[in-house]
Chain A
Amino acid sequence: MGMAGSGGDGIVSAGESLISAAAYEGYHAMMTKSFGSQVRGGESSCRVRLSTARVQNPGGTLDVAIALNWEDFLKFGAELPVSGDTVVIYDSKTGVEPGQIPLVGVTPKEVFAVPIGEMARRAAGTDKAKNSVVLGLIAGWFGIAPGSIVRGLNKKFAKKGPELLAANERAFHLGEEFAKEHPLATPRAMAPPTSSGSKMLTDGNDMCAAAAILAGCEFFGGYPITPSTEIMQFFTREVWKYGGAVVQAEDEIASIGAALGASFAGKKAMTATSGPGMALKTEILGLATIAELPLVIVNVQRGGPSTGLPTKPEQSDLFQAAFSASGDVLRPILAPTSVADTVDVTVEAFNIAEHYQTPVILLSDQEIAQRKETVDPIDTSRFTFIERKRPTAVDLQSYARFRMTEDGISPISHPGMKGGNYQGAGIEHNEQGNPTASGKVHAAMNAKRFRKLAPLQRRRDLFRIDGDPDAPFALVSWGSIAGVCREAYLRATAEGLAVKLLVPWLVYPVAEEIYREFFGSVRAGLVVEASHQGQLYRILRMYVDVPRGVTSFARDGANPIQPGDVVERLRAAALALQSPPSAQQIACEE
């Protein structure tokens, strides 16, 4: 379902009520919001996808489109695609005749002009109740959770007084009645949820922050930037309760500096930002690498470069995360693929940071970070939390902070620990931590810093691989687009294509062995991602012999890739296999 209106129409709030009611009933659901660039007002829209099975992505063309006015609806273009299967509902005050709706090249299945504003005014005396009318229409036509929606209205208006509540309930029922009086030509009702029991309803930013606190994070340094700010906001509400603290610093440099200081002091620490802030953090990221200090850095990617598209998702900061460094640096990059697995990936980021004494970049994106999704209740006892290796009493008798060990991990002390005194430094140092300009020591220390991370590449649990291991066709995808690919994989498999799917949580270093094995049987496939260059595809080719038939399917951010697009290309690739490939092609879209 996709709906759009102007800022004051409350269309996003209607979406929130709907998804909350669905979650309460036990449906799986996902909601994405999209706004124009105005701070307040302007056009706003949301998409809600409900299902009795797990929802992998926001979905393709709409089953239901709701336009409170056409001008705003049309601004969202490809984000709200209408097809011949769509039921279109719009406010008749727009004056547009149902046969004349301004959608080019499609004839929707059914079109309803509904006096939404008028009904709101009739029920509540104000346009503000339009969202309640819309909820009534949805409940009436599609049988979605009327009881839970009314229950939600009750909760929402509890503080605002009984009159407002009654007015909105009237508006809801007017909508519901309208739908019943004008039934759909082809009835479409949601099946009841298969699992009962209410779910969590949350977004990636909140899950990231909550998982960080669960993992024992006690310090957050931040600086506001869309679309990451909600992580800091969650910390400012919660972390004090667990003995931690937040500093909203003067800039991104200070925020990572303070977080690194907290880590030096022995505490688990985190900072979060988006691309432009990441650029500023680069120097201290290098310091964290050479000083071998654990730190989790979240980059909630948005469209770039520079200010780019602050409110839209893109996966174009992978090169920055992997390569934006002076010197020889290897820092692990993890990417969640959904709101739910943001929890696992965040806990993993802390575990890797602490275990290997390294900065870890958690590369989320605007969609995962800000979309609302149902998540099954989490049993937190399934997690293990790793703490950094501290020196033993014996170690402390002649302590060397950067002692050469076989696995490259040296026990780490912190101020307050007697006998552990050392100099942390950005300058190259010997085992004791003292500055050196020796080429020999530098080479040995570089080797140590790389060696310690080698085991990561063998972590199969950081990869989700599905399908027949011998399948000749393959999909590889990461981040939020992985959910699109997962659906494409299921559809292609259902069509009878022998395809397999690889989704990494560990994006960098490239786990060469795991990819080599995966590509072993592969003759054609796609690496699917939301960027202009196809950054994962190019990084894979740096390290792995990607089969010639595997090409990049990369599309710039804010131009959603639909599961259907992926299946179509996969089919084409399968067909092309029958005639021999000419040259390796990189199918970046214009």
Chain B
Amino acid sequence: MTTTNAPLPTYQAKDYKSELKPIWCPGCGDFGVVQAIYRALAAIGRPPHEIAFVSGIGCSSRIPGYTTAYGFNSVHGRALPIAQGIKVASPELLVLVAGGDGDGFSIGGGHVAHAVRRNTDITYIVMDNQIYGLTKGQLSPTSPKGLHTVTSEYGSLEEAVNPLLYVLAYGANFVAQGTPADMAGLAEVIEAAIRFPGFSFVNVQSPCVTFGEDDQQVKNHRATMQSLAKLGHDPTDRLAAMGLAQKYGKELHTGVFYKNPDPPPTMNALIKERQQVLSEKAPPRSRIFDRFLQT
């Protein structure tokens, strides 16, 4: 233990940037997302080795590799369960999860509700581009009904998933949306999400320049986005948040939809409490078989 009052090391955005060159198409929205993450992490200041960054599969899921954190580019749709396992096993880590809309709301859709109700202290960032990027332009769960893609030659027949409304309805305590068209705002909501104690969700409208729709690009976002704060939205009002979330796909709202002003204890906190209570009267591991003796 040192006795000097050395200042804590401070980190800058560049300290979270790895040397790996992104495989993304020039202009892909995900470039903005990773920049925003660097900034948010610098503002928080945790050293990269104390961060675990988990993703699934997709263009967007390459993102952990572009940071200096411990990354886990896992399999399609399963980032959330893996991240929760990490957080439960090592609660002291900062755990981020990221991926595409297909990864999170199609193949991995079944895991979202449970990540919400388990409420481990992790942050889930979805790069929502309404299309399957990596597999080259198929229909995604957030594609608008009627969209023509290579797997919907005559237009899709299904309604789009509304990620914001789903996650709010599952009972999430922190839900926000951002776009790389507003880098400062995006970095801000990501930072707020990470700081929030419990499961937090950020939907990022992250355009696919290659397979996405022309009217869903960054320049359109810039023209149409509306800040929830400026609209006077009260982020402690879940019902008002759900009302606004209904506009998903029609209007682009940015900022915090909902933030529980009185967050419930996280699963990690509950586990710690239980471990403390139960470990007091536990026999040592080496005596674990004694209970089976017929006495």
Contact = CB atoms under 8 A, between A and B. Distances in A.
Contacts of A71: none
Given A221-B85, A240-B271, A416-B93, A214 B49 contact: no
Contacts of A419: 49
Interface bracket on A: 35 or more
Contacts of A218: 89
Interface string B62-97: 101100111111110010111111111110110000
A557 B82 CA distance: 35
A466 interface: no
Interface of B: 20, 47-52, 54, 57, 62, 64-65, 68-75, 78, 80-90, 92-93, 110-111, 113-114, 118, 271, 274-275, 278-279, 281-282, 285-289, 292-295
A191 interface: no
B81 A258 contact: yes
Contacts of B274: 240
B293 A258 contact: no
B47 A435 contact: no
A251 B113 CA distance: 12
A123 to B, nearest CB: 26
Given A261-B85, A262-B85, A415-B70, 19 more contacts: A20-B294, A243-B275, A245-B88, A245-B275, A250-B114, A257-B80, A257-B85, A259-B85, A265-B86, A265-B93, A267-B90, A286-B75, A380-B288, A417-B49, A424-B71, A424-B73, A424-B74, A435-B62, A435-B73
B73 A423 contact: yes
A207 B289 CA distance: 8
A264 B285 contact: no
Contacts of A213: 285, 288
B286 to A, nearest CB: 4
Contacts, number: 197
A240 B47 contact: no
Contacts of B81: 221, 249, 253-255, 257-258, 261
Given A240-B279, A261-B54, A214 B72 contact: no
B85 A210 contact: no
Nearest to B19: A434
Contacts of B50: 415-416
A401 to B, nearest CB: 10
21 contacts: A198-B295, A200-B292, A202-B289, A214-B285, A241-B282, A245-B275, A247-B88, A249-B81, A250-B114, A253-B78, A258-B84, A264-B86, A284-B78, A287-B75, A415-B52, A415-B70, A416-B93, A421-B70, A422-B70, A423-B70, A423-B72
**What's the dominant secondary structure at chain B's contact region?**
helix
B288 A210 contact: yes
B72 A283 contact: no
B11 to A, nearest CB: 13
A258 B82 contact: yes
A279 B83 CA distance: 22
Contacts of A243: 275, 279
Contacts of A267: 89-90
Contacts of B286: 214, 380-381
